[in-house]
């Protein structure tokens, strides 16, 4: 399966677009109900650096040590949801705060 339409338009690198556009349009942030979009590569890099240092925790306070392959960002900018093996983890307790 090739990159989704947004990757072909140059909206985000293929590695960041881990969820098909048609499916993505149906998803909403479980905390706010806002639309979701692929997280920027720079955001992922920053979160992965925090995870590497042992400084990244999800909303339930559980440490996140595994690098993120992708994430979906809430339109409000307050929450990110990890994508593991192409599956978004849209559970409120899995949310990451990018700040």
Q: What is the pLDDT of residues 40-92, one digit of tens each?
A: 999 999 999 999 999 999 999 999 999 999 999 999 989 999 999 888 999 99
In a domain, 23, yes or no: yes
pTM (two decimals): 0.76
φ/ψ of 60, rounded to 5, equals -85, 0
User: How many independent structural domains does the chain possess?
Assistant: 1
Least trusted range by pLDDT, from 8-12, 32-36, 91-95: 8-12
Q: How far is CA 2 from CA 27, 49, 75, 81, in A?
A: 21, 28, 26, 23
Q: Which helix (H) or strand (E) holds 7?
A: helix 5-8
Q: Quote the pLDDT of residue 19.
A: 66
Q: For the purposes of burial, counting CB atoms within 10 Å of the CB of 44, is it exposed (0-12), middle (13-18) or buried (19 or more)?
A: buried
Find the angle CA(52)-CA(43)-CA(23) to the nearest 5 degrees.
110
In a domain, 82, yes or no: yes
* Cα–Cα distance, 84 to 9 (Å, whole number): 24
Mean pLDDT of 11-28: 66
Q: Quote the pLDDT of residue 1.
A: 40
How sure is the predictor about 6, in pLDDT bands with cuts at 50, 70 and 90?
very low
In a domain, 99, yes or no: no
Domain of residue 47 covers 5-94
């Amino acid at each position: 399966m090739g990159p989704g339409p947004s990757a072909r338009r140059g909206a985000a690198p293929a590695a960041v677009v881990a969820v098909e556009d048609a499916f993505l349009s149906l998803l909403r942030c479980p905390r706010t109900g806002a639309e979701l979009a692929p997280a920027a590569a720079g955001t992922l890099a920053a979160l992965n650096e925090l995870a590497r240092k042992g400084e990244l925790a999800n909303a339930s306070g559980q440490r996140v040590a595994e690098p993120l392959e992708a994430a979906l960002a809430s339109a409000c900018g307050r929450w990110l949801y990890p994508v593991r093996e192409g599956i978004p983890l849209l559970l409120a307790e899995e949310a990451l705060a990018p700040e």
